[in-house]
């Protein structure tokens, strides 16, 4: 019998848990807790049911949200920088414009979440983000690469299948072994990004800046490189250039590094 992975279990939990129950706390109660919170005594929101609550614009830096149910909650423009949000449930959450810099999100469902224009700089995400909106998000120096220490649990990595990263800034980001199949990366900044062994089949990189990026051994079947800047881009281990769509329409192809 196949044992479900942690991600599968979390996803099933997000789908099967009843959505008819009321949240444990409302906005006013949470604001009161946050007003009294300090770094030494953070607001205790562990495992709380906060589904659908409007928490936009609040400062959660002195809060403990570990394991909370945050499905469809509105955290737009809120400050969650530096928080450990491991094992929370975030399916359908609104984090647009939120500050998640240097935060940790591990073993989480962010399916169809809104992270547009979010500050994700320096964050560590190992999560299912299929279909998520990351338009214009700041992922500079983010570490979303696979966690190679947890292989007995299955490949723990950032899953961004079909995610929209149009215009996102991923300069210096680590997305090694990430799932980016069918992702939209139009006009994205991927300068010096680590995309080694990433699955980018069918991804749209039209107009993206891939200068200095490392795509060695990545899966690039039908990946669109139209007008992409390939100055110094590493394609080591890519055996068939014909699999790469519109490579001839890219910029600085003569400066790309193939075996």
Spatial distance between the Cα atoms of 180 and 173, rounded to a whole number of angstroms? 14
Backbone angles phi, psi at 104, to 5 degrees: -120, 125
Q: What is the pLDDT of residue 149?
A: 72
Q: Which residues of the chain have pLDDT under 50?
A: 1-4, 11-12, 14-20
Spatial distance between the Cα atoms of 237 and 226, rounded to a whole number of angstroms? 21
Spatial distance between the Cα atoms of 39 and 31, rounded to a whole number of angstroms? 16
pTM score, whole prediction: 0.89
Q: What is the pLDDT of residue 153?
A: 55
pLDDT digits (tens, 9 = 90+) for 194-224: 999 999 999 999 999 999 999 999 999 999 9
Spatial distance between the Cα atoms of 111 and 212, rounded to a whole number of angstroms? 30
Identify the CA nearest to 126 among candidates 99, 164, 155: 155
Cα–Cα distances (Å) from 109 to 13, 29, 90, 143, in that order, read 10, 26, 6, 17
Question: 211 by DSSP, 3-state: which?
Answer: coil
Q: What is the pLDDT of residue 4?
A: 47
Q: What is the pLDDT of residue 152?
A: 53
257 Cβ neighbours under 8 A, 6+ residues apart: 232, 233, 234, 235, 236
Other C-beta atoms lying within 10 Å of the C-beta of residue 178:
28
The region, left, alpha or beta by phi > 0 then psi within -120 to 50, assigned to residue 89 is: beta
Q: What is the pLDDT of residue 164?
A: 98
Identify the CA nearest to 30 among candidates 54, 47, 5, 11: 54
């Amino acid at each position: 019998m196949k044992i479900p992975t942690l991600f599968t279990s979390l996803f099933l939990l997000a789908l099967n848990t009843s959505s008819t129950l009321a949240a444990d706390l409302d906005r006013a109660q949470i604001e009161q807790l946050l007003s009294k919170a300090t770094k030494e005594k953070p607001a205790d929101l562990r495992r709380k049911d906060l589904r659908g609550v409007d928490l936009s614009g609040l400062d959660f830096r002195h809060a403990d949200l570990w394991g909370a149910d945050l499905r469809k909650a509105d955290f737009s423009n809120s400050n969650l920088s530096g928080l450990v949000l491991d094992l929370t449930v975030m399916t359908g959450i609104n984090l647009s414009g939120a500050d998640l810099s240097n935060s940790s999100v591990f073993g989480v469902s962010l399916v169809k979440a809104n992270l547009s224009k979010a500050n994700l700089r320096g964050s560590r995400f190992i999560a299912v983000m299929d279909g998520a909106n990351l338009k214009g998000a700041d992922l500079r120096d983010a570490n979303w690469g696979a966690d190679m220490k947890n292989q007995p649990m299955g490949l723990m990595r950032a899953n961004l299948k079909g995610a929209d990263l149009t215009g996102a800034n991923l300069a210096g980001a680590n997305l090694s072994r990430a799932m980016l199949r069918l992702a939209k990366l139009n006009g994205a900044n991927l300068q010096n990004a680590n995309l080694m062994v990433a699955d980018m089949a069918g991804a749209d990189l039209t107009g993206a800046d891939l200068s200095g990026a490392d795509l060695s051994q990545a899966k690039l079947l039908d990946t669109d490189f139209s007008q992409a800047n390939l100055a110094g881009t590493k394609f080591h281990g890519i055996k068939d250039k014909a699999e790469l769509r519109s490579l001839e329409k890219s910029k600085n192809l003569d400066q790309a590094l193939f075996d």
